[in-house]
Amino acid sequence: MTTARALRGVLAGLLAALLAAGLAVPAAALPEDDDATTEEVVAQRALTSSRPLLGWRIALDPGHNGGNADDLAAANQPVSDGRDALKPCNSTGTQTVTGYPEYAFTLDVAKRLRDDLERLGATVLLTREDDDGVGPCVDVRGRFAEDVDADLLISIHANGTASPSAEGFFAIVASPAISASQGVPSIDLAEAMIEALDDAGFTPSTTVEGALSERADLATLNFARRPAVMLELGEMRNPDESELMESGEGREAYAEAILHGVLAWTDKHDQHGE
Ligand code: ZN
């Protein structure tokens, strides 16, 4: 992230704070990116200490949607998978044994995560805001990060292995890489997420080695042109994990773990001057 970009974020935050306080801000109060005064730099430092994600733009993709099952004609429309095959626009997703759907889980975690990220200064963009529609299609979800100029994309899912003994979270990245953001940058992001989920006490997948899966067939990841990871946060048919997923506290814990992963990853990339 560049300094100019960080400063833009700071100014946007200041502007929002002033607006929230009911103060008018003349356009002339917003300087050009490259001529920040010392005061502004100091203000930036003061703000970033409590809002470490200021200036970062984070795209969240809650998997699936509530309307997919009721409009299979639309949901099954073929779209490119981002390589040389076709995929259905968007699948219905899975559910727990009691019928709690993946699309509701992913949206709730994404919204909790958005609140957490925004509290720390990030700008957060979601591929969908409710459970009422069909899609967006997986190609659109993948392009989303670049379309909204996000720094990274986190696609949130839960897995639906039929056996209740299947357990654990894993992260997926596109492989082989077909863009600069795939390969190492995305694997790096995935590893930050795996470590954060592990540290938070969630169980790494018992079937995916290292909890990291590399796949060529996921359009959401193939189309991404920013570091992107898909998280399968757990197995919805596993009794312990489904209990977590069905509880607000459990979903908050998932969101917090992902937040910690974002903090670790952004901290590392800030130090590298990206
Ligand atoms: Zn899914």
Domain extent listing, the chain: 54-268
Q: Residue 222: enclosing H or E segment and its boundaries?
A: helix 219-222
> How far does the centroid of ligand 1 lie from the alpha carbon of residue 101, in Å?
10
DSSP 211: G
pLDDT digits (tens, 9 = 90+) for 179-193: 999 999 999 999 999
Residue type, 148: V
- Using CA of residue 217, residue 223, residue 226, residue 229, what is the dihedral sign? negative
Confidence of residue 248 (pLDDT cuts 50, 70, 90): very high
92 CA to middle of ligand 1, Å? 8
CA of 140 relative to ligand 1 center, distance in Å: 16
Task: Give distance in angstroms: CA of 194 to centre of ligand 1.
Answer: 17
Q: Say if CB 172 and CB 77 are below 8 A apart.
A: no
CATH of domain 54-268: 3.40.630.40
| Mean pLDDT (the chain, rounded) | 88
Tell me the three state secondary structure of residue 198.
Answer: helix
1-31 pLDDT, tens digit each: 444 444 444 444 444 444 344 333 333 334 4
pLDDT of residue 46: 65
Residue-wise pLDDT tens digits, 130-182 = 999 999 999 999 999 999 999 999 999 999 999 999 999 999 999 999 999 99
Q: Is 129 a catalytic residue?
A: no
pTM beyond 0.85: the answer is: no
Q: Which residue in the list 102, 167, 191, 232 is annotated as catalytic?
A: 232
Neighbours of ion ligand 1 (CB under 5 A): 63, 93, 157
Model confidence at 273: pLDDT above 60: no
State the pLDDT confidence band at 128, using cuts at 50, 70 and 90.
very high
